[in-house]
Amino acid sequence: MLYGKKKAITMELKNVKHLSFPEASFQKWKEAIEESLKGKSIDRLQTLTSEEIALQPLYTAENSTREEWPGLYPYTRGISATGYREQEWLVCQPVSGTNRGEANRRIQEALKRGQNAISFSADMLPGSIEEASELFNNLLLAEIPVFLDVSGKQNQFFSLLYEYCKQSSIDEAGISGVMAEDLIAEWVVNGKIPEYPELYFERWFSAIKETQERFPDVKTILIKTPVFHNGGANAVQELALALSTAVKYLEEGQKQGLSLFEITSKMVFSFSLDSNYFMGIAKLRAARRLWALLSEAYGAPGDWFKMHIHAVTSEVTETLYDRYVNVLRTAGQAFSAAIGGIQYLQVHPYDHVQGNSGESAERIARNIQNILKEESHITSAADPAGGSWYVEQLTDELSDKAWRKFLQIEQSGGILQGLLTGRIQGEIRDVYEKKRLQVELRKDSLIGTNVYPDPGDFALNPGRIDISYLETDSAFVAIEPIKAVRLSAGFEQLRLRSGKHRQKTGHAPLMGIICLKDQKNHKPRHDFIAALAASGGIEISASAGLHSAEEAASFVKDTNLPVYCLCGSDESYQELGLQLLQEIKREYPEKRMYVAGLQTGDAFEALAAAGADDYLYKGTNAAAILTQLLKELGVNEDDKA
């Protein structure tokens, strides 16, 4: 009998060898999708991004018609033919400390644990030769690359560094890496442009020429698009503004006698990566392509325009509450950067919002990069995203939109003119307001903030990070500054108010939930209201499943809270909710009564007549309704931690 079974199985396997999968097609897939949508258009599955790019539910080979190769013009797939095999990216985690001695100790520890570039936060930059000696003590500056954003202190810094090298017998010509600044970015953040910017450019490029002679392997020009990204800009705006800034520097540098190659070879472009994973990959690929295409406008060899990219995780998506979620968030952003192709990478520590980061947070941020390098094997393939129809199409669409935006900026007078008129700031503000509204409506999620908040998490105030600005004796013209923003800030202010209320009164703001009938009937809306309340720092007191108006009135009497929300199914509202509302409003007219779930038509009218004051439902502006709830719960407007 057993032999017979084995023989049958063997025969079945022989038959399988002659089988083949049925041929599929896009049309068959489309028909299957439309069937599942019950006849509705497949266009319903498109997703519109803040760049106004419609993401399709499926991409095919027809979406990828370009034939490009890593290391070859226009460098969409990377500036190296072998990807990271030839040169891995530099781990550029800026180290800080209570003083420069501590910062020196911490960078030496970091260099033993995977970091391969010397990098300090801007507040650690030395102001004297003594401070330079303390900061750089025992660091092999001529052997380990350096990455420093010198933020308006370039002239002073290079003078000190040159003097330190001479005193310490260090060959300054052997120092390599990036010690750069972006004049326009400084002006944007500071909110003022020199009345005669050409004088600034003259001094700046004169200093760059001198630095080039002393430190030939150091890049000194940084195009800092994070200034725009962290103000709320989308990928199209970031790319266009990067090109416009770089073109301005090309023009001004050539006026001061530098060759085109001398300028482009000193440039590094910095981009922020947020949680839109594929858009981040496409942004880096599009940046390289667009920069290379500019070589044609200047009649220059394409390899003069190989873009070196510094990537940094986004500040816009950082959150104050549930801060350990930032570890997961930045890991995804760093992965996006590594896949997109970079030369330098900086991952913000999870406590970055609070200002000075602890050693543990810095270690975790550094280890995100170590894991990507050592465990993920993404360094084994050149351009691992290449061939993805989705990424290729997204790169094409982003390139086209960014190029048109760049031409629009240039035709309107260039980046400085756009900043002086406020047009650039206004466009960025408009994009950010749309993003913020999506978060407030909870159409876009911020884990730990507007969805899945941790009610037991009590945060301190975010730290204040000082920014050093370029100072001279020249007159300035005021412009609207582009300030860094975070999508979670509105919700965090609500929770900070709730935290201050807790400190003053000894308890958190508390609202009641009246649950109708059994758990199956009320749980979905109960969970929705509980999560909504928690995102504003409001705790809840929920009843058991109630089956009568008398039970509800007893619950209200026992808890005696100023605000309650009715949770149940639409049917239970009609069967029990109307009577319950009438009973509570008759006994306690001062109580604010909400109903969970959007109600329309006759149901809305009946509930309103029975005593419902307002409705809490998916799609409502969560930040606005939480502000209203806090006021009704006695939390004062000035209750901010």
pLDDT digits (tens, 9 = 90+) for 213-228: 999 999 999 999 999 9
* pTM (predicted TM-score): 0.89
pLDDT grade for 472, boundaries at 50, 70 and 90: very low
Q: pLDDT over 70 for what percent of the chain?
A: 94
Segment 29-51 mean pLDDT: 85
Segment 245-257 mean pLDDT: 97
Same domain, 370 and 260: yes
Output DSSP code: residue 516: B
pLDDT at residue number 25: 83
Residue of higher predicted confidence among 89 and 42: 89
d(CA 489, CA 461): 11
Same domain, 421 and 500: no
469 occurs within a structural domain: no
Yes or no: say if 243 and 406 are a contact pair by the CB < 8 Å rule: yes
Same domain, 220 and 346: yes
d(CA 28, CA 585): 58
414 to 185, 191, 300, 420, 425: CA distances (angstroms): 14, 17, 21, 10, 14
Model confidence pLDDT, tens digit, residues 382-394 = 999 999 999 999 9
Q: In the structure encoding, which two tokens stand for residue 525, read together?
A: 């809306």
Same domain, 363 and 219: yes
pLDDT at residue number 1: 45
pLDDT grade for 16, boundaries at 50, 70 and 90: low
pLDDT at residue number 5: 54
Same domain, 432 and 533: no
Task: Give 77's Cβ-side CA count (13 Å radius).
Answer: 20
Amino acid (one-letter) located at 179: M
What residues pair up with 479 in beta bridges, in sequence order? none
Q: For position 235, which CATH number holds?
A: 3.20.20.240
Same domain, 104 and 240: yes
Neighbours of 404 (CB within 10 A): 11
pLDDT at residue number 28: 84
Same domain, 520 and 603: yes
pLDDT at residue number 4: 52
267 occurs within a structural domain: yes
131 occurs within a structural domain: yes
Model confidence pLDDT, tens digit, residues 308-365 = 999 999 999 999 999 999 999 999 999 999 999 999 999 999 999 988 788 899 999 9
Exposed, middle or buried: residue 62 (CB in 10 Å: 0-12, 13-18, 19+)? exposed
Strand order in the sheet with 90-91: 90-91, 344-346, 309-313, 267-273, 217-224, 176-181, 146-149
**Chosen domain end from 417, 440, 463:** 440
563 occurs within a structural domain: yes
- pLDDT tops 90 at residue 285: yes
pLDDT grade for 426, boundaries at 50, 70 and 90: very high
462 occurs within a structural domain: no
**Chosen domain end from 397, 424, 440:** 440
Model confidence pLDDT, tens digit, residues 133-146 = 999 999 999 999 99
Q: For position 538, which CATH number holds?
A: 3.40.50.280
78 occurs within a structural domain: no
> Count of domains in the chain?
2
pLDDT grade for 13, boundaries at 50, 70 and 90: low
71 occurs within a structural domain: no
What residues pair up with 148 in beta bridges, in sequence order? 179
Q: In the structure encoding, which two tokens stand for residue 293, read together?
A: 């295409």
pLDDT grade for 116, boundaries at 50, 70 and 90: very high
What residues pair up with 156 in beta bridges, in sequence order? none
pLDDT at residue number 465: 35
Same domain, 416 and 552: no
pLDDT at residue number 36: 85
**Chosen domain end from 424, 440, 456:** 440
d(CA 416, CA 410): 10
Q: Which of 244-248, 424-428, 469-473, 597-601 has the lowest mean pLDDT?
A: 469-473
Output DSSP code: residue 81: T
Model confidence pLDDT, tens digit, residues 569-618 = 999 999 999 999 999 999 999 999 999 999 999 999 999 999 999 999 99
pLDDT at residue number 563: 97
Domain interval for residue 207: 86-377+388-440
- pLDDT tops 70 at residue 468: no
pLDDT at residue number 291: 99
Segment 291-296 mean pLDDT: 97
pLDDT grade for 255, boundaries at 50, 70 and 90: very high
Yes or no: say if 250 and 420 are a contact pair by the CB < 8 Å rule: no
Segment 550-576 mean pLDDT: 95
d(CA 148, CA 128): 17
Same domain, 612 and 549: yes
SS3 of residue 432 by DSSP: helix
Same domain, 435 and 500: no
Model confidence pLDDT, tens digit, residues 482-500 = 999 999 999 999 999 999 9
408 to 237, 292, 418: CA distances (angstroms): 11, 19, 10
26 occurs within a structural domain: no
Amino acid (one-letter) located at 318: E
Same domain, 419 and 521: no
Same domain, 96 and 240: yes
Q: Which of 84-88, 279-283, 512-516 has the lowest mean pLDDT?
A: 84-88
- pLDDT tops 50 at residue 130: yes
